[in-house]
Structure 1
Amino acid sequence: MIADRHGLTATAIPALFVFLLGALRAGLDSLGGRLAFQAARAELSRRREIAATALAARSQLDSDRPASGFAASLIAEQAETIVPYLARFRPARLKASAVPLVILICIAPVSWLAALILLFTAPLIPVFMALIGWQAKAASEKQLAETGGLNAFLLDRLRGLATIRALGAIDRTALRVRADAEQLKMRTMAVLKIAFLSSAVLELFAALGVAAMAVYVGFNLLGAIDVGTWSGRLSLTQGLFILLLAPSFFEPLRELSAVWHDQAAGEAALDALDALSSTGMTLPGWRDERVAETSRDRTLPSINVDRLCFRHQPGQMPVFDGFGLAIAAGEHVALLGESGAGKTTMLSLIAGLVCSESGTIHVGGQRLNDISASALRRRMAWIGQRPHIFAGTMTSNITLGRPEVSPHSVQQAIDLAHLRRTVTQHGAMSIGEGGAGMSGGEALRLAIARAAATPHVDIILADEPTAHLDTETAREVTDALLAIARGRTLVVATHDPVLAARMGRIIHIDASVREEAA
């Protein structure tokens, strides 16, 4: 309007209108960004919950379970790259698809040549970005796997630090960590290089497009070019209109380039989470773990296994093929056999930690299946040969935060497990992570105390409780185990004939199952 010799007063209202439109656009952009971020956080939380649920549903016997360090790194840290992918890249991609098309429709009635310039320069950007994007995604997937692998390696070595130190392998382990860290650095730099390259490519083509448009409009206004319009040359208003819209035409594409690396990292994290969420060998009744009610039937349960078949992986030799077993209510039974005979697997099947291929297991007359497994597990206590001891006090390691375990039950459990002297020595001091400061026998008696303090337990399953213990400590652990098993059904998997001899009955698990009275 100023070019047409109108005064400032006449331009005030249009200028105010333009200002209000700009303020409205800024407000909508801010609101849209906030809503997109909230939606992305909600989607991330949903996917994390799915992945964590899938991990919780995996059986302890599933050999394909991902490493703990990798799963923790992926869910807690690397999954965060999904947020910028959903909150920034996807809206930018949608904007880059819609806004240039609208601007093209607005420019075409003014100058068909200007519209053609934009139409031919714009597609070059997505083509080159797609080519770069394939490489970026591949590099991000490799970097993601390298990060998870390094975290898993570190966690594994930290757990076995005492063994590494004892065998003099500290330097070797440090060199391996250094080499893996260097490899991770190279993977990360490769991702960053591709990200910078993608931004540079898009900025170049956007600048060339705007420059070509400016050259055309300038020469047309000077009269050097007479083509490209529907009638005559461009007016100053039309030229300014096209020049002002040209940067806006490429702006969504420039925004897309700024967040292009988010696509590679986000899609790689989504694929990794989906792989982590895939189900393998599931834990029977895992859906009912939180809501399962303890059975009110206080009758001691019997255990009956009939024609059981089980193999760890399809195509492998079966661990059990037509296996049968009967344990009376309140009976103390030892499953005796060599290492690898399937004793721990049998305990896991009885505990409902994995599904059998065929056959049935009845506990207290109730068939163990996906519906009943959770409630039946509430009646069982598991004592492993390497119980996990948490960092904390002796009392907290016995209660494990369970409100149903009363202080009186804890004290009774300590006495039954012969832990009174150990509790007195430790007092209120915290136990180190992994049971640091406790002997193997004390850790096993602590696991026995956990079982003793658990209410409504009718069946105790013990897996090699005296393995790797000296004779005196093994006798103390056995005494504690028999003390808490009084009035309960006890099944012990062992290759220790001394422990087996103290059970009421011995069942040999080997190539041919046979029984003998103790």
Structure 2
Amino acid sequence: VDATALRLRSEAESLRARTMAVLKIAFLSSAVLELFAALGVAMIAVYVGFSLLGEIRFGTWVGRLDLTEGLFILLLAPAFFEPLRELSAVWHDRAAGEAALKALDTLAAGGLSIQGAADVAPAASAVVEAPAIRLENVDFRYDADEPLILDGFNLDVAAGEHLALLGASGSGKSTLLSLISGLAPCTGGGIVIGGTALADDSAHALRASMAWIGQRPHIFAGTIAGNIALGRPGILRGDVTDALDVARLGKVAAAYGNRPLGEGGIGLSGGETLRLAIARAACNPHLRIILADEPTAHLDAVTAAEVTESLLSLAKGRTLIVATHDPLLAARMHRTMRVDAGIVMREAAE
């Protein structure tokens, strides 16, 4: 608890310092640009005023300004300086874009690569039925200077089996899912899925038969049907309806109709968001493997039970691997495996 409190305090202090640094630049830039715009309008008002009083007799093409012309110029002055105000917003957008590019460059230089990432064309599934999955002496570390997270790890998942991975946070459950999906490369050993070795030339086709259901699936701005189909070719309206039935999301979809959701799932609860992710997976005609990372985390008991039932409906006849802390979800699996500090303990489940 003390270590967590110290880390939280350090992170909060870091966030405060970075936030204030950004706000300082934002306020200074906005204040300077607003100052120049305000001074510009004020100078025009002074000129018009003294011109109408007869104190200034220059600056006009013919004769002196009258009241109508002076008021017209004053009304146009703020619009004339509006681009100067807009420059502040555009500058902040540019700074945000540069920060995003810097973050992407940092990620690109991190070293971890996604297997089969070079394949961008739609891939045909490499498996035609629920496959067995075998991990053989798998080693993994995030960086060459870091210790091994997995060392000589072995795992056999039977075809169509439902397996729950249990363990403390940081024990490697999510890492195992990333390795099986090819989102992270093995440091040593190998993974075989349905008799096909997971490698750069096979990962893309193998992933075509997989679905990843995480804790916080991203919801795009658009309709529920659009968020399920995701523009994938060959998905018909009937397929979307069937997927809604599997995810038990029909009533929600009927209530929303064609009204769009907000970016990030604004308008949906946490449980509805997860069931929408399950419906997305159900729309994949090649789906044979389901990888779920804490699908019931942060949900109340009733909602977690609904998500569990939807997930099990989707997993019928398919291979399912779930990383979870939820004992109720784990109890519904065929088998559980506990992964703690590199020690693997197997226990049977009904």
TM-score in terms of structure 2 length: 0.71
Aligned counterparts of 1:453 and 1:421: Cα–Cα separation in 2 = 18
Aligned counterparts of 2:303 and 2:104: Cα–Cα separation in 1 = 47
One-letter amino acid of the counterpart of residue 376, structure 1? L
Aligned counterparts of 1:328 and 1:487: Cα–Cα separation in 2 = 12
1:320–1:184 Cα change, 3 Å:
farther
Equivalent of residue 436 in structure 1, options 257, 266, 281: 266
Equivalent of residue 376 in structure 1, options 173, 193, 206: 206
Match of 2:184 in 1: 354
Structure 2: 5+ residue stretches without partners: 1-15, 32-97
Deviation at 1:275, TM superposition (A): 5.6
Alignment of 1:153-168 (within 5 A): none
1:278–1:496 Cα change, 3 Å:
closer
Match of 1:461 in 2: 291
Contact 2:166/2:339, CA 8 A, preserved across alignment = yes
1:274–1:502 Cα change, 3 Å:
closer
Query: What number of residue pairs does the alignment pair up?
Result: 266
Match of 1:333 in 2: 163
One-letter amino acid of the counterpart of residue 333, structure 1? L
Equivalent of residue 391 in structure 1, options 221, 233, 257: 221
Equivalent of residue 286 in structure 1, options 96, 109, 117: 117
Match of 1:105 in 2: none
Q: Deviations over 1:339-394 (max 9, x none)?
A: 11111111000001010100110000111011111110001011011000111100
SS at match of 2:264: helix
SS at match of 1:442: helix
Equivalent of residue 26 in structure 2, options 160, 181, 200: 181
Deviation at 1:176, TM superposition (A): 5.1
One-letter amino acid of the counterpart of residue 501, structure 1? A
Deviation at 1:314, TM superposition (A): 1.6
1:424–1:339 Cα change, 3 Å:
same
Q: What percent identity do the matched residue pairs reach?
A: 50
Match of 1:510 in 2: 340
Deviation at 1:178, TM superposition (A): 2.8
Aligned counterparts of 2:281 and 2:317: Cα–Cα separation in 1 = 14
Contact 1:303/1:327, CA 8 A, preserved across alignment = yes
Alignment of 1:27-426 (within 5 A): 177-181=22-26, 280-295=111-126, 297-426=127-256
Alignment of 1:441-452 (within 5 A): 441-452=271-282
Contact 2:294/2:323, CA 8 A, preserved across alignment = yes
1:292–1:424 Cα change, 3 Å:
closer
Aligned counterparts of 1:407 and 1:319: Cα–Cα separation in 2 = 44
Which structure shows the higher helix fraction? 1
Aligned counterparts of 2:305 and 2:123: Cα–Cα separation in 1 = 36
Deviation at 1:501, TM superposition (A): 0.5
Contact 2:221/2:265, CA 8 A, preserved across alignment = yes
Which structure shows the higher strand fraction? 2
One-letter amino acid of the counterpart of residue 438, structure 1? L
TM-score in terms of structure 1 length: 0.48
Q: Deviations over 1:168-206 (max 9, x none)?
A: xxx9998554313257789xxxxxxxxxxxxxxxxxxxx
Deviation at 1:460, TM superposition (A): 0.5
SS at match of 1:340: coil
SS at match of 1:434: coil
1:442–1:352 Cα change, 3 Å:
same
Q: Deviations over 1:106-154 (max 9, x none)?
A: xxxxxxxxxxxxxxxxxxxxxxxxxxxxxxxxxxxxxxxxxxxxxxxxx
1:185–1:453 Cα change, 3 Å:
same
Q: Deviations over 1:246-291 (max 9, x none)?
A: xxxxxxxxxxxxxxxxxxxxxx9xx979967757311111111325
Contact 2:140/2:148, CA 8 A, preserved across alignment = yes
One-letter amino acid of the counterpart of residue 153, structure 2? F
Aligned counterparts of 1:358 and 1:175: Cα–Cα separation in 2 = 44
Match of 1:62 in 2: none
SS at match of 2:340: coil
One-letter amino acid of the counterpart of residue 313, structure 2? A
Contact 1:404/1:455, CA 8 A, preserved across alignment = no
Match of 1:209 in 2: none
